[in-house]
Structure 1
Amino acid sequence: MLIAEITDTHLMDGGLPAYGSIDTRAFLEAAVDKLASLSPRPDVLLVAGDVSEDGTAGSYRIFREIVARLGIPVFVVPGNHDARENMRSAFLADGYLPSEGHLDYIAEIGPLTLIALDTLVEGEVHGEIAPERRDWLESALHETRNRPAIVMLHHPPFATGTKMDEIGCRDGDALAAVIRRFDNVEIVLAGHFHRSVHRRWAGTAANICSSTAHQMGLDLAHAPGFKVFMEPPQVQLLHWRPETGLAVHQVPIGDYECVHEGR
C-alpha cells in the first residue's frame, strides 16, 4: 500500500496567487505531476488541511480538477484557512464526510484505517478538539482497534520546539492521553506548520508534512513574527507493508538528474 500525502496547498478562487505572489495552483500541479510520475503510483491521497487559502467554492473546484487526473481516492481534513461548509459541499459526494457538524470521519484505505479529525476553529489560527469529540476519537479507535490506524488532523497536537507551536492544536495533551491507550495507531499526521517534522509522541510516531508551496521559516528562537520562505516543496509517501509496518519518505517536487547508476 502506497499512500501519498500533501498539505497546505492554499489555493485561491480563480487560481490567483496567494499573498499576491505565490502561484499555489502551479505548485499543486507540479506536486500532482510528481505523484503521477512515481512507479509504483500511490493508491490513495491524503490532504492534511488548508486546501484553500480563501475558503471559496472556486478554490475547491480547482483542487478537485487538478488531483482528479491521479485517478485515486482523495481524503481531506479542514485547516484554519478552509471553510467547513464549502469544503463539505465540495467533497460530500465522495461519501466519507458527515453531512453535518464537524468533519470528523473514519475511512478504510486498503489494509489501514484512516481516522480524520477536524481541528478548525473558524476565525482563529490555532486548532481545538472539544471533549465530546475526543470521546468520539476514543470510540473510533476502539472500533478499529484490530486494524492499523492513521490519525490525521491539520493542527499539530505535539510540540516541535519552533515558534509555530504557538498556533498548534491546544488540546494536544488530552489527545495524547486517548491515543496512548491504543497500540494500533501507526502514525499521527498533521500539516499547518509548513515544515517537515518528525517525533515520537503519545506512544507512536508523529509527523508534519511540508507544504506543496511555501514553507515557514525554521525558528527555534521564537523571534517576533512569522516568516515565509520559498524553500523546496515536498510530497510525502507512506509505504505500508504488513511485515515491516509504515515507512515515511519525503520526496522533493520536481525532476532531478540521476548522476550515477550502480549495479
Structure 2
Amino acid sequence: MKPLTIIHLSDTHLCPEGQLLHGSIDSWQHTRQVLRASEHFSPDAIVVTGDIADRGAPIHPMAAAMFNDIQEEFGCPVITIPGNHDPAGSVGPEFNTQRLSIGPYQANTVHEVLGLRIIGLDSGGFQLAQGELDQAQLSWLQSLLAVPAPLGSLLLLHHPPVEATSKVRAGRGLKDPMALAAITAGTDVRAILCGHYHQAATSQLINIPVLMAPAVSYNMNPFAPHEILAESGPGFAVLQLGNDAVNWFAASSDQRTTKPQDAAQRTSVEGHLAAN
C-alpha cells in the first residue's frame, strides 16, 4: 500500500486584513504559499495545529473559507485545531467539515483518512503560554483509543507534551503530559503532531513520537532564541505513514524557488537524521 502523506501546518498567526505580523511579515501570503507548496506532495490530509490567528484577531471565518477551498480543490480534508492565540470557540463548525464526530468541545474532532484515524484535541490556553487537556477530553480520548483503527491513530495538539529545546520557551508546553501518556500507552497512536514552539523538532512521549512542525508565519533562531527568522521562509512538515514506518521531514515553501524535487530529497534526509 502506498504510504499516506499528511501535510502539517502550524502557527499561521493570521492578522486582520492590511496588517503585517510584527510589522513586516505577511502571514496570509505565507499561508497561501505553504498551501500551494503542499500540493507538490499530493497530500491525503492537511492538518493545522493551532494559532491560526495572531492575538485573537477575528480572522477565523476567512481562514475557514480558505481551508475549505483548499479542501475542495485538493480533494483531501483540512483538519484544524486551535492554539493559545485562538479564542475559545473560534474553531467552530465552519472548520473540519469532513469530521466524523466531535468530542467534549467543538474543536475536538475525529476524521478517518483511508484507515488512519486523526484525532484533534483542543488544549485551549487562550492568552496563556501553557495548554491543558481536561478530564472530559482525556476520558473521550480513552474511549476512542479503546478500539484500534486499521492504520492506527494520529493525535493533533497545539501544545507539545514535551519540553521545549529552548530555555526561553521552557514551561510553555502541555500541562501534565503524563496524564496523556497514561492514556496513549499501549494504544494504536503512531505519532503526536504539535506546533507552538516555532521550531522544527522531534521528541517522544514515553515511546510515541512527538513531531513539532516549523511555523508557517516565522521561526525562531536557535542561536539567538529571541530573534525571529522571518527570512527563513514559511515552514511546514511532511509526514509519510506506511504500514510499518513513520517518515517525517521539515520543508520551506521557499525551496520551490529552486528545484522542488531536490529540495524535497534534501529535507527528507535532514528529517531522517533529526528523527534519529
Q: What range is the shorter-chain TM-score in?
A: 0.7 to 0.9
- Aligned-pair CA distance for 1:105: 2.0
Residues 121 and 157, structure 2, Cα contact 8 Å, conserved in 1: yes
The 1:67/1:6 distance shift into structure 2, 3 A limit, reads farther
Decide which of 15, 31, 36 is 2:34's aligned counterpart: 31
Question: CA 1:5/1:260 → structure 2, altered by over 3 Å: closer, same or farther?
Answer: closer
Aligned residue for 1:169?
Answer: 174
Kept in 1: contact 2:91–2:107 (CA 8 A)? no
With over 3 angstroms needed to count, the CA separation of the structure-2 counterparts of 1:192 and 1:107, relative to structure 1, is: same
Deviations 1:94-140 (A, max 9, x none): 44574973522221111211111100123322101123322222112
* Percent identical residues: 22
Give runs of aligned pairs for residues 61-76 of structure 1, distance below 5 A.
61-62=62-63, 64-65=65-66, 68-69=69-70, 70-71=73-74, 72-76=76-80
TM-score (norm 2): 0.81
1:47 equivalent to 2:52? Answer no
Could you report, residue by residue, the CA deviation over 1:207-263 in whole angstroms, capped at 9, with x for unpaired residues? 10001121123279xx8xx44322333221111222x322112222122434999xx
1:133 is paired with a residue whose SS is helix
1:151 CA drift (Å): 0.8
Of 166, 175, 179, the residue aligned with 2:184 is 179
TM-score normalised by L of structure 1: 0.85
CA positional deviation for 1:93? 4.5
Instruction: Note the alpha carbon deviations across 1:3-61, whole angstroms, 9 max, x for none.
Output: 1111100111225212232210111111122112x1x5112110011111143443441
Unaligned runs of 5+ in 1: none
Q: How does 1:1-263 map to 2 (within 5 A)?
A: 1-36=4-39, 38=40, 40-62=41-63, 64-65=65-66, 68-69=69-70, 70-71=73-74, 72-91=76-95, 93-95=97-99, 98=102, 101=105, 103-144=107-148, 147-163=151-167, 164-182=169-187, 184-218=188-222, 226-230=226-230, 231-242=232-243, 244-254=244-254, 255-258=256-259
The residue type paired with residue 248 of structure 2 is V
Once residues 197 and 162 of structure 1 are traced to their aligned partners in structure 2, the CA distance between those partners, rounded to angstroms, is 11
> 14-23 vs 3-12, which deviates more?
14-23
Query: Residue 27 of structure 1 contacts residue 212 of structure 1 at CA under 8 Å; is this kept in 2?
Result: yes
Structure 2: 5+ residue runs without aligned partners? 263-276
Q: How far apart are 1:194 and its partner, in Å?
A: 0.6
How many aligned residue pairs are there? 253
Q: Mean Cα displacement is larger for which, 43-52 or 15-24?
A: 15-24
Code of the residue aligned with 2:79 in structure 1: it is F
Give the aligned CA root-mean-square deviation in angstroms. 2.7
- Mapped partners of 2:260, 2:66: distance in 1: 35
- CA displacement at 1:172 relative to structure 2: 1.0
Change (3 A) 1:176 1:24: same
For the residues of structure 1 that align with 2:146 and 2:161, how far apart are their CA atoms? Answer: 20
Contact 2:7 2:45 in 1 (8 A): yes
The alpha carbon displacement at 1:78 in A equals 0.6
